[in-house]
Structure formats: C-alpha cells, structure tokens
C-alpha cells in the first residue's frame, strides 16, 4: 500500500505530466498553473524547472531563473536547471555569467540531454571569438551525441576558419 508521501508524489507527477502536455500545445498560462499546483502538492526539481521554461516562453526570464534556482535547492543533482539558467542568462545578454552555470550542468549526475550545455558553451565561446574553446565544446557535444549533423557542420566550419 502506497504511503501518503508516495501518493503525494504520484499526484504531483500526474499534474506535472498534464502541465507538460499543455506546455507542448502552447497553452502556457494553463501549464504554469498546473506546474504550480504540482509544486504545491510536492515540490520537485522537474516542476520548478519546467515552470521556469514555460515562463521563459512568456518572456519572464527573471522568474524562469528564480524557478531554476528553486529546482536546484530541491535537487542539486538535476542538471537541467543549471543549463536553463545559463541559456536564460545568454538570452539576457549576460554570456560570461552563463558560463559557470553551464559548466555545472556538464557535471550534474542526473541530466539529459547531456550535450546541451556543451552546445551552449560552444556558442558562447564562438560569440566571444574564442574559436579553440568553441571547437572543444562542440567536440564534447558531438562525443555525447554522435552523428548530430548541425554540430558536425559547425565543427567543420570552425576548423576551416582556423586553417
């Protein structure tokens, strides 16, 4: 028989799943509401992170960052919020501030898709004119996601620039 805590978590996950479906359909207000209800039932790193993602789609980047920081408080091993904070900071024009967050995402024990922070760092270093570092990050992304055509093309273009 499930415990009360197990039942709460199951309810929170069900609300999160429903929120995610609405989010993917572009119903952002409704998704944010259901992510919030999920958090009220049982705070999870996933609900905070995905509520932040929905808020970022509503152009509320500061609240998105705040949600990701709450997610990290709940589960510091979950890598998605670190990457998301990094990408939101880039969106705000704060590329260099994003770097430590993306580096932490690369080290997080629980994170999929693991190649995203490498791609984000590669783009940052490319924008900063640091081609060698950009290439190293894109190579890291490709090692984790072999065969990704856009990453292969990016690496080939960068290597041509260096030669």
How far is residue 116's CA from residue 90's CA, in Å, rounded to a whole number?
Answer: 14
- In this prediction the pTM is 0.94
- Residue range 60-85, pLDDT digits in tens: 999 999 999 999 999 999 999 999 99
Residues comprising the chain, all counted: 163
Q: How many other C-beta atoms can be found within 10 angstroms of the C-beta atom of residue 112?
A: 8
- Name, in order, each residue with C-beta under 8 angstroms of 118's C-beta and a sequence gap of 6 or more: 106, 137, 138, 140, 141, 144
- Residue range 2-60, pLDDT digits in tens: 899 899 999 999 999 999 999 999 999 999 999 999 999 999 999 999 999 999 999 99
| Neighbouring C-alpha atoms within 13 Å toward the C-beta of 153 | 3
Domain ranges of the chain: 1-81
Which CATH number is correct for 1-81, 2.60.40.2470, 1.10.10.10, 3.90.950.20, 1.25.40.10?
A: 1.25.40.10
DSSP letter at 92 equals: T
Per-residue tokens: 32: 């944010």
- Residue range 102-158, pLDDT digits in tens: 999 999 999 989 999 999 999 999 999 999 999 999 999 999 999 999 999 999 999
């Amino acid at each position: 028989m499930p415990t009360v805590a197990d039942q709460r978590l199951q309810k929170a996950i069900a609300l999160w799943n429903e929120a995610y479906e609405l989010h993917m359909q572009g119903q952002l207000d409704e998704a944010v509401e259901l992510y919030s209800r999920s958090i009220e039932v049982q705070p999870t790193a996933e609900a905070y992170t995905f509520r932040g993602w929905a808020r970022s789609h509503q152009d509320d980047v500061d609240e998105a960052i705040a949600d990701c920081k709450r997610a990290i408080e709940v589960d510091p091993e979950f890598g998605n919020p670190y990457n998301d904070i990094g990408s939101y900071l880039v969106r705000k024009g704060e590329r260099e501030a994003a770097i430590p967050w993306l580096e932490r995402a690369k080290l997080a024990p629980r994170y999929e898709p693991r190649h995203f922070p490498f791609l984000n760092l590669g783009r940052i270093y490319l924008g900063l004119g640091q081609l060698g570092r950009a290439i190293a990050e894109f190579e890291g992304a490709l090692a984790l996601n072999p065969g990704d055509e856009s990453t292969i093309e990016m690496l080939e273009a960068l290597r041509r620039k260096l030669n």
